[in-house]
């Protein structure tokens, strides 16, 4: 599942964020999607229909997976802009410190 599916601006932000973080989020969403597909397949199985308790538990688990997916997407949508801003601020401070004539790294001996 592409990272842009939970934040339309994510493609722009992705270049400014650690690729490792993006990969972990994408893998988590892909694993969750696979789990949901397996759960749906199990719910369609006639054997599971023979066990109402199991069917109910699988239905509950599927619902919880949906909530978890939503939580991941919301967290990423909230965090991506703040990560971007933090990186911009760091870059600004680095640039400011390098160009500040009173900063020790720019002083001439």
Count of residues in the chain: 109
Q: Is 18 exposed, middle or buried (0-12, 13-18, 19+ CB in 10 A)?
A: exposed
**What residue segments make up the domains of the chain, in order of their start?**
3-101
pLDDT along the chain (109 residues), means of 10: 61 60 85 96 94 96 95 82 72 71 57
Cα–Cα distance between 33 and 65 in angstroms, integer?
A: 9
Q: What is the pTM of this model?
A: 0.59
Q: What is the pLDDT of residue 50?
A: 94
| pLDDT at site 54 | 96
CA distances in angstroms from 96 to 16, 89, 100, 106, listed in the order given:
20, 10, 6, 11
CB count within 10 Å of CB 42 equals: 15
pLDDT given at position 25: 83
pLDDT at 98: 72
């Amino acid at each position: 599942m592409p990272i842009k599916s939970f934040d339309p601006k994510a493609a722009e932000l992705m270049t400014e964020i650690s690729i490792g973080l993006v990969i972990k989020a994408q893998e988590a969403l892909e694993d969750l999607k696979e789990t949901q597909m397996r759960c749906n397949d199990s719910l369609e199985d006639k054997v599971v229909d023979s066990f109402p308790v199991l069917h109910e538990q699988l239905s509950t688990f599927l619902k919880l997976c949906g909530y978890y997916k939503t939580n991941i997407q919301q967290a990423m949508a909230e965090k991506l802009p703040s990560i971007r801003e933090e990186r911009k601020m760091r870059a600004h401070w680095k640039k400011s410190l390098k160009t500040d004539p009173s900063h020790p790294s720019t002083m001439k001996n």
